Chain A
């Protein structure tokens, strides 16, 4: 299995990719994922995250098979 990571809106453009798969080894939290995908950088304060389509925070645990998403502030309506 693996952890699916998705990006939306301006963050998707900045990352230059829509999604990717990560091996779950060494990943315990959302913050751990960000370190892997952004070369050790901390998660920017304004970026939101979700685990399995529920809002989460950097400390939220992540397990093999989860879908984790990162995105900028939402602007619907």
Chain B
């Protein structure tokens, strides 16, 4: 399941709820790998007070779906839960959750890393930081998986 959220979420509660209520597959998964990205209160040597995450409605969802589909062609996993924040975010709030359930740990570790790295590389999201003396856009992209 892939979801964009415009309000704070609790990734660990989401994991428990998804595994209990949506995942099914009891007895089939032996490995769950979860990555949680949380907002820092510093970046590039400056204190950051808040951040706004902009996205391109439609293109963002399409590319997240595609990244998960690509991961599914490379690794044998049972399910993925991907939740990403949009809107205004404050330090210590989670930005992203990527969780992968699989029979064995290799696929869970690798697919989780793949989804996260490719998301950062090509899913259309943009961060604008609020500093003590103004605002600035984050402009640094990272290489994919």
Q: Which residues of A contact B (CB under 8 A)?
A: 6, 8-10, 50, 53-55, 69, 71-77
Q: Which residues of B contact A (CB under 8 A)?
A: 37, 53-56, 58-59, 62, 84, 95-96, 116, 119-128, 137-141
A-B contact count (CB 8 A): 70
Task: Select B126's contact among A6, A9, A53, A55, beta carbons within 8 Å.
Answer: A9
CB neighbours (8 Å) of B123 from chain A are: 74, 76-77
CB neighbours (8 Å) of B121 from chain A are: 74
When the two chains form their complex, are residues A72 and B124 in contact, meaning their CB atoms are under 8 A apart? no
Nearest chain B residue, comparing its CB with the CB of A52? B59
CB neighbours (8 Å) of A53 from chain B are: 56, 58-59, 62
* Bound-complex Cα distance A8 to B123 (A): 13
